[in-house]
Chains A and B, each alone.
Chain A
Amino acid sequence: MHPRTKARIRNKGVSSVFLAVVLAIAVAVGVAAVAITWPMVKSSFDRSSWSSSMGMYKVGFTYTKNGPYAYAQNGVSAPLGSSPSPVGYCLAYQVNATTAIYSCPSNQPAG
């Protein structure tokens, strides 16, 4: 066989291996990109969900036989005191017999 033809055959073999390796790397990069991207995408969805749930988080106040109580969401409740204290994710206290001051995640930003 002519030496030039021989070299050409060898080069074709090398470029085939090169293409195979490039394809393998491309597949690996694709898999890695998905594996890296998925937690980030999920965290964005989780944040949106958290943000909308916080936007609806409220507290209510009712008198009971044991005095005034604050009721937050998910069944969380606590006695209403005369100094600010947490009730679920809200902050509340009683200013007089019939009025409470509170701040919850659903409140508008201060200032």
Chain B
Amino acid sequence: MSQFLEELMTEPIEFIIAMVILTTAVVIGLYGYWAYANHVTLQNYLWPIAEVVPYKGNYYLAIVNTGYEPFVVKQIYLSGGSTISVNTKPLSHGQWFTETTNQLPIAVKVCSAIDPGICIMVPVHGWSMAEVGVPPDAILVVVNGSGDCGWSLTWYGWSGGTISYDKDITFLIQPVYGDVHFILNNLLGPSEASPGSVVIFNVNCPNIGLPPWLW
């Protein structure tokens, strides 16, 4: 090695040329690595979440930016194999983009707003159904199917009250720490309920056609 260098470095000008070549190679290499690292870093900080729920015979797609790097939504991929091209404004942290589609969306393509060449494919999360919970110290009362006549409901026991109405309604009896009994008028349903439960009453109008004071 030393002999080789001695032969190579017979003159200072050759030494300078060698330095220039070496430095250029190092700078080019470092720049390439920096460009790659920058690309990967920007890609890693794209944090979109895409979700879909069925709604009124279509699909309601929503995309939110959960990160701090802004991005634009470029394309929506549907289950039928087709795509929808969109070009949204940059979405910042916490901002949503929504779209209604007639086929199930399965993926979206988002690109960095900082460097539009950096894009990722994002799977669309599907939906689930859940019960709306009732607090342990309450009874949820649901009255369905009204419209033809008025009805009234009286409850007593750990809690007491009366409601008269002529439309669908959902309400809580709260607080209640023991069983509650019901007196129904133009309603079909259970005669008692426990805390934390849901009671559903259906309106039944045997006196339809009669004036309200004769129900």
Contact = CB atoms under 8 A, between A and B. Distances in A.
Contact of B106 (A28, A64, A104, A111): A111
Contacts of B212: none
Describe B's contact surface by its main secondary structure.
mixed
Interface stretch (B17-25, B109-117, B157-165, B186-194): B17-25
Pick the most buried of A37, A47, A63, A65: most chain B CB atoms within 10 A of its CB: A63
A86 B98 CA distance: 10
Contact of A97 (B22, B33, B55, B170): B170
Interface residues of A, number: 61
Contact of A84 (B18, B55, B105, B170): B55
A73 to B, nearest CB: 12
Describe A's contact surface by its main secondary structure.
mixed
A97 B30 contact: no
Contacts of A32: 30
A102 B53 contact: yes
Interface residues of B, number: 60
Contact of A104 (B51, B135, B172): B51
Contacts of B156: none
Contact of B125 (A8, A84, A101, A103): A103
Given A105-B66, A111-B124, 16 more contacts: A15-B2, A36-B30, A37-B37, A44-B44, A46-B45, A63-B140, A64-B172, A65-B172, A86-B64, A91-B51, A92-B53, A97-B200, A99-B132, A100-B130, A103-B51, A111-B106
Interface of A: 7-8, 11-12, 14-15, 17-19, 21-22, 25, 28-29, 32-33, 36-37, 39-40, 43-44, 46-47, 50, 54, 59-65, 67-68, 80, 83-84, 86, 89-95, 97-111
